[in-house]
Structure 1
Amino acid sequence: MNSKRELTTGYLFLLPSLLGYVVFLLFPILFSLWLAFSEWDLISGLDHIQFVGLRNFIDMWQDELFLKSLKNNVIYSIVVVPVTLAVSLCVALILNQMVYARNFLRLLYFLPYITTIVAVAIVWMQLYHPTQGPINQLLMTLGIDNPPKWLGSTEWALPSLMIMMVWVGLGYDLIIYMAGLQGVPKELYEAAQMDGAGRFRQFLNVTIPMLSPTTFFLFITRIIHSFEVFAPVNIMTNGGPGDSTSVLVYYIYELSFKFYKFGYGSAVAWVLFAIIFVITLIQWNRQKKWVTY
């Protein structure tokens, strides 16, 4: 009797969370899957949802803006993910060797990550100002008469976002890498020194293999985050100039909440999910080839 009462009490405590999961997560996911095969503009009401089959998925591969957004997203991921990992690993190695001010510097690097992205974007917009921004003023002081227009240029807008996001993500990866470095046994380095290995050889044969699980974790999470980038684009460029910074999540936002094409937007969202899922699945299956446990 007491066990049944305890079981009932436990389920009652779980009920609010379960209802929240169904209402705010499970139902929207299933509803968006249904909309992906439909045409709906929200304003006309639920009675006007029209089933169109695979038309949304067929049309998107003939949609130049979708292809442009996909291309920008792939370029963004290819650049930001490895650069962030490489820079954070280098900084982690340096800080790991320091005795003084290590915790303070680690905090400074981590601050951009925990700062709201809106504040970070506004600050970088001022830095990128073509005439009054500190970056271009410094470049002109160094003798560069025509510095980049940064966010106002179709060539430099996307690289500008990449630079900022590398700076934002550096602190998190740095903390994770420093934790991984603390777990590398010193005996391995001592054995490598006895074999005549220098610092670079120790880095290649000891540090990199021992940090491979950490790198794998950061790589997977960075890939997912890179395909979910939205706030910097929405705040700093609105996908411009000339759609040069439009990415998939921002394109989904435009389709759904600017043009009210919820069916087409849902189809693009599920294609984005499929891309992330396939990339993650491939990396998960290949981890045994380069991850050392």
Structure 2
Amino acid sequence: MNTIQPIKRKRKWLTFSVVFLIPALILYTLFVMVPTASSIYLSFTSWDGVSPDIRFIGFDNFVEMWHSERVHNALKNTLILSVVLVVIENAVALLLAMLVDQVRWFRNLFRSIFYFPTLLSGIVMGFVWTIILNYNFGVVTQLLDKLHLSLKIDWLGNPDYALIAIIFATVWKGAGYYMIIYLAGLQGIPPELSEAASIDGANRWQQFRHITFPLLAGAFTVCMMLSMIASLKIFDQIAVMTDGGPGFATETLTYIIYKVGFGELRQGFGTALSLVLFILILIVSLIQIKLLRSREVQL
């Protein structure tokens, strides 16, 4: 009798658990599993996104992708943005975090100022920097004129500088977010460690290299992962600031998916590109996690 009651109680709780899980499972199936399966199927079709006629074409979309110079250029820009943004954003964010951590007065004010750009949407940020970098009346152009410098550059209209402008604007927007994560990590480091190292004769660089940086390994891993995924999916800034131009100079995989799928009505090809982007993000994330986790263990 004593053993039957616990078994009945467990079955009752199991039944309740299943009942509560069913709505979430239904929603997950409808909004995640079904669209994912549909996307995989559509990547093997020539669907235009409008017509009810969906023609299966096998691997033709992927073969076209393999030979397309436009796709190669978009992949190159995506990789360049990913590497450069991950390095610069984390370097700037860590520097800002260390500066704010050392400030005694108005620390919250400086933290808010550096974090404020993160609150802006990518669309708003793109419009702001489009005005700032405007060739005719932008703030940068007027400043160079005031300084009598003959460095007037069409930042968004020149293919040699457009990608640089997007990188600069993205760092301005995103560094504050990662600064908060690094700042939380810095405030979790006991000050006694730096004091002891200073007494032993270690300078600031040695303290950072052997104490601060190793103890920030967890925050470093999180920030690297988030910035890498965000840079691989960058879209808003490009859509507003350059529209993928001049020419195709600033197109990325995310943006070309949008242009091909909705602008050129080639949903099948766009879905195939999105599948490739998903696999790329998955591979990069797994490699990054493995490398950064092994680094944490070593430190």
Q: TM-score range by the shorter chain?
A: over 0.9
Q: 1:163 aligns with which of 141, 164, 168?
A: 168
Residue aligned with 1:49, SS: coil
Distance in 2 (CA, whole Å) between partners of 1:146 and 1:220 is 37
Matched, 1:259 2:267: no
Q: Give matches, 1:129-148, under 5 Å.
A: 129-148=134-153
Partner of 1:275: 280
Task: Give the superposition deviation at 1:20.
Answer: 2.8
Task: Give the deviation of 1:54 after TM superposition.
Answer: 2.0
Q: In the alignment, which of 209, 227, 235 is matched to residue 230 of structure 1?
A: 235
SS at 1:132's partner residue?
Answer: coil
By how many angstroms is 1:2 displaced?
8.2
Deviations 1:201-231 (A, max 9, x none): 1011111111122111111111111010111
Matches within 5 A, 1:1-293: 11=18, 13-45=20-52, 48-292=53-297
The alpha-carbon deviation at position 77 of structure 1 amounts to 1.2
- Deviation, 1:196, is 1.5
Q: TM-score, normalised by structure 2?
A: 0.91
Instruction: Give, in whole Å, the separation in 2 of the partners of 1:25 and 1:230.
Output: 22
Deviation at 1:78, TM superposition (A): 1.6
Give the Cα–Cα distance (whole angstroms) in 2 for the partners of residues 100 and 150 of structure 1: 37
1:114–1:10: structure 2 CA closer, same or farther, 3 Å change rule?
farther
Q: C-alpha separation between the residues in 2 aligned to 1:112 and 1:215?
A: 21
Match of 2:5 in 1: none
Matching residue's letter, 1:27:
V
Distance 1:96 1:270 in 2: 42
Q: What CA distance in whole angstroms lies between the structure 1 residues aligned with 2:225 and 2:83?
A: 13
- Select the structure of larger CA radius of gyration: 2
Cα distance in 1 for residues equivalent to 2:43 and 2:268: 5
Q: Residues 49 and 261 of structure 2 are in contact (CA less than 8 Å); yes or no, is this contact kept in structure 1?
A: no
Corresponding residue SS for 2:144: helix
Task: Report the 3-state secondary structure (helix = DSSP H, G, I; strand = E; otherwise coil) of the residue aligned with 1:39.
Answer: coil
Per-residue CA distance 1:71-104 (angstroms, 9 max, x = gap) = 1111111211110100111111111011111111
Q: Which amino acid aligns with 1:39?
A: S
What are structure 1's unaligned runs of at least 5 residues?
A: none
Once the two structures are overlaid, the 10-residue window that deviates more, 165-174 or 19-28, is: 19-28
TM-score by length of 1: 0.92
Question: What is the identity, as a one-letter code, of the residue corresponding to 2:268?
Answer: G
Deviations 1:161-210 (A, max 9, x none): 11010000011111000000011122321332233211111011111111
- Runs of 4+ in structure 1 deviating by more than 6 angstroms, as ranges, are 1-6
Q: Please give the alpha-carbon distance, in whole angstroms, between the structure 1 residues aligned to 2:22 and 2:265.
A: 34
Mean CA deviation greater in 15-24 or 34-43: 15-24
Aligned length: 291
Q: CA deviation at 1:17?
A: 3.5
Q: State the alpha-carbon separation in 1 of the partners of residues 293 and 55 from structure 2.
A: 46
SS at match of 2:156: helix
